[in-house]
Amino acid sequence: MKKKILVTGGCGYIGSHTLIELIESGRYDVLCVDSCVRSTPETLDRVKNITGVEVKNYKVDICDKDAFFKVFEENDDIAGIIHFAAYKAVGESVEQPLMYYRNNLGALANVLEACQKYHISHLLFSSSCSVYGDVKTLPVNEETPMGEAFCPYAHTKQIGEAMIRSMQVPNPGTTSLILRYFNPVGAHPSGMNGELSPDKPNNLIPIIMHVASGVLPQMTVFGTDYDTRDGSCIRDYLHVSDIADAHVKAMDYLVEHRNTDGCEVFNLGSGNGVTVLEMLDAAEKVVGHRLNYVLGDRRPGDIPAIYGDSSKAEQLLHWHCRYNVDDMIASAWKWENYLKENVK
C-alpha cells in the first residue's frame, strides 16, 4: 500500500520537484502544506500538468501551530514528513535575522512537535552545505566538522540539525535524515516546472538565464582572482530533479528500516566542482549565443570553493546523479522560455 507523505514547502522550487518524483515513484501519496509566502499555488497546476495528479495544499503558516496541527487531525495516516518550508536568501538573512530564526526554527519546532504528538514515523530535513562554512579540505564529506556560519540563514540550518538530533531522546519513534544540499539548479526536464526566482535573482543560474533571454542586460562574474583553476569560484551544482529523486530514495531508506541510527546525515551533491566561468561557457553553448558578462570584484561572503563527496548517499540510498551540467542548463533554459510563454 502507498504511504502518505506530507511535503512542507511543496509549492516551492525543490518541494514541487520532489512532489513530482514522489508521485512518479508510484510508492507514495502526497499532501502539501505551504503558506505560499515565497511561492504561488499555481505551482501545483504545473505538478498536475506533469504527473496528472492533483495535490491538495493546506495554505497554512507552519509557525501557526494550531492551524498546522489541524492538518494532522484531518489526516491520521501520514507516514512521513519532508520539511522544505523555510526562507533561504543569504543576503536577506543578514538584513533580517530575526525573521529567519523565527520562521525557519519556529516552523521546525512545530514540525518536530507534530512528529511526536501524531506519531509520524519518518522525517527528512532540508539542510545545506552552508553548515560547513569556509572549509579548507575538499571534497566535503559528512564527517567534515561544521564551520562558523557565514550568515543567519546558515546558522538556522546548523541549529535546525541540532534540534532534530536532540528530539531523538524524547521521541525515538521518529527516524530522521538530514540532507545537506549543495547548489540545486535547473528545472524539470520537460521545462514545465522550475524556479520562480525573485524579481532580482541572486543565484548564478537564474541570473545567467535572465541575461541569456535579455531580461537582464549584463551580469558580473564575482571574482577572478581566487586560487582556483581559472580564478573564479568553484561550486557543486546538481540538477533539482536529482535532488528530488534523492528524497524519494531517502524516504524508501527509512520506510524499509535500512537506517542504523535514529538520525543520519547525507550530503547531496554531484561531487564535481565547477567554476563560474565554466558554467558561463557551458551556458553559451546550450543557449547558442554569447552572454554579456563582465569580470568583477569578489562578492562579500563568498567562499572560494566547495564541493561535496556524496558517496554515502550513493552507497546507502542507491542514488546517483542522472543529469550533468549541460542538462542542468538546458532544462533551466527550457523553463525560462516556458515562463515567458505561459506565466505572466
**Whose Cβ is closer to ligand WQD: residue 13's or residue 28's?**
13
Other C-beta atoms lying within 10 Å of the C-beta of residue 262: 16
**Interface ranges with ligand NAD (CB under 6 A):** 9, 11-15, 34-39, 61-63, 84-86, 88, 103, 107, 126, 128, 181, 183-184
Whose Cβ is closer to ligand NAD: residue 93's or residue 171's?
93
Q: How far is the CB of 276 from ligand WQD (least distance, A)?
A: 4
CB of 188 to ligand NAD, least distance (A): 13
Q: Which of residues 75-114 bind ligand WQD (CB under 6 A)?
A: 88, 90
Instruction: Measure the CA–CA gap between 73 and 144, rounded to whole angstroms.
Output: 40
Return the residue of 31, 187, 204, 268 that touches ligand WQD, per CB under 6 A: 204
CA gap 256, 299 in Å, rounded? 44
Q: Does residue 202 touch ligand WQD according to CB under 6 A?
A: yes
Separation CA 143–CA 279 (nearest Å)? 29
Q: Which is nearer to ligand WQD, 235 or 312 (CB)?
A: 235
CA–CA separation, 69 and 328 (whole Å): 37
221 contacts which partner out of ligand WQD, ligand NAD, none, CB within 5 to 8 A by kind?
ligand WQD
Of ligand WQD, ligand NAD, none, which one does residue 62 interact with (CB within 5 to 8 Å by kind)? ligand NAD
Looking at the Cβ atoms of 68 and 323, the one nearer to ligand WQD is: 323
| Nearest distance from C-beta of residue 243 to ligand WQD, angstroms | 11
- CA 216 to CA 208: how far, in whole Å? 9
Site for ligand WQD, residues 130 to 149, rule: CB under 6 A? 130
87 has catalytic annotation:
no
Nearest residue (CB) to ligand WQD, 90 versus 167? 90
Supply the residues annotated as catalytic: 153
Residues that bind ligand WQD (CB under 6 A): 88, 90, 128, 130, 183, 202-204, 207, 219-222, 233, 235, 276, 299, 302
